[in-house]
């Protein structure tokens, strides 16, 4: 690659990681403001967001080779937590609907659960964060072998 392309890619990586850190921080603050800590399952995203934020910021300050697999692992964990969170939100909404309307089922139950009080797609933002982090770290020069 040319020096100009290398410089542009380095700036892209930095801005992508800064955007990731801002997104992690914003979501963490939002979850704290809504009191998202009722039970261990609600603590999982808080812990992942906090540890990911600290690790990404540390990597931005000092892009150290040993941090690269840690950030990547946290990105995979964020993606898995996002999928699990969407399922838990959907399942909680469905359970509420079954208690409210005992004979509900099929499409009516699905529609009620997907549009329920707990936002089913909100945890999916963790998947977006994971993909952004993995994209920013793809073939990162810190991880290149000498």
Which percentage of the chain shows pLDDT scores above 90?
92
Per-residue model confidence as pLDDT tens digits over 65-94: 999 999 999 999 999 999 999 999 999 999
Q: pTM of the full predicted structure?
A: 0.90
Per-residue model confidence as pLDDT tens digits over 20-63: 999 999 999 999 999 999 999 999 999 999 999 999 999 999 99
Per-residue model confidence as pLDDT tens digits over 106-146: 999 999 999 999 999 999 999 999 999 999 999 999 987 75
Question: Given this model, what pLDDT does residue 146 score?
Answer: 52
- Find, among 42, 40, 41, the residue nearest to 32 by Cα: 42
- Find, among 136, 122, 146, the residue nearest to 72 by Cα: 136
């Amino acid at each position: 690659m040319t020096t100009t392309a290398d410089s542009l890619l380095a700036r892209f990586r930095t801005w992508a990681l800064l955007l990731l850190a801002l997104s992690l921080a914003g979501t963490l603050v939002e979850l704290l403001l809504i009191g998202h800590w009722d039970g261990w399952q609600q603590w999982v995203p808080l812990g992942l967001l906090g540890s990911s934020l600290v690790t990404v910021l540390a990597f931005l300050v000092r892009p150290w080779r040993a941090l690269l697999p840690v950030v990547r692992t946290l990105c995979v964990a964020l993606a898995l937590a996002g999928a699990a969170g969407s399922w838990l939100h959907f399942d909680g909404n469905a359970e509420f609907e079954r208690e409210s309307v005992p004979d509900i089922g099929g499409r009516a139950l699905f529609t009620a659960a997907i549009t329920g009080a707990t936002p089913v797609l909100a945890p999916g933002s963790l998947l977006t964060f994971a993909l952004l982090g993995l994209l920013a770290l793809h073939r990162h020069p810190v991880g290149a072998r000498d």
